[in-house]
Amino acid sequence: MDIETAAKDLGKMIAQTPEYKYYTAAARDVDEDKETSELMRKLKEIEAKVIKAQEEGQEIDEKTRSEYTEIMQEVQGKTMVQALIASQENYMKLMNKVNNQISQGIQEGAQSRIITNF
């Protein structure tokens, strides 16, 4: 088996994990909820404004700060957003484990004197 095939197979296995399935379902739920997706859009809009102001060395006005805080609290209070965050954290834990195993395999492979061809 070549490395590209092994990587593709790993991707297929990851797609079948509960962590991946829960994460994609939670993300879809948030995207499909009009109220939540509108709040997320507004939040991203304000974040872009804040980043631009910071890049230009400008102070963030109090209206923008309070609007950001208000929308952020509303977003964070939504059950589906909390589910998305939790599922994303679990998915990232899985991916960190996978990356650690790949790194360990690389280290072991680098130390091996046996030449293998895929």
CATH number at residue 93: 1.20.1500
User: What residue numbers bound the domain in which 95 lies?
Assistant: 18-101
Split into its structural domains, the chain has a count of: 1
In a domain? residue 75? yes
C-alpha dist (Å) from residue 115 to 4, 101, 112, 118: 18, 20, 8, 10
What is the C-alpha separation between 65 and 46, in angstroms, rounded? 9
- Sign for the pseudo-dihedral over CA of 27, 30, 31, 32: positive
**Residue pLDDT, tens place only, 41-66:** 999 999 999 999 899 999 989 999 99
In a domain? residue 111? no
* Cβ within 8 Å of residue 50, ≥6 positions away: 60, 64, 68
What is the C-alpha separation between 115 and 86, in angstroms, rounded? 42
In a domain? residue 6? no
In a domain? residue 9? no
**Residue pLDDT, tens place only, 20-45:** 999 999 999 999 999 999 999 999 99
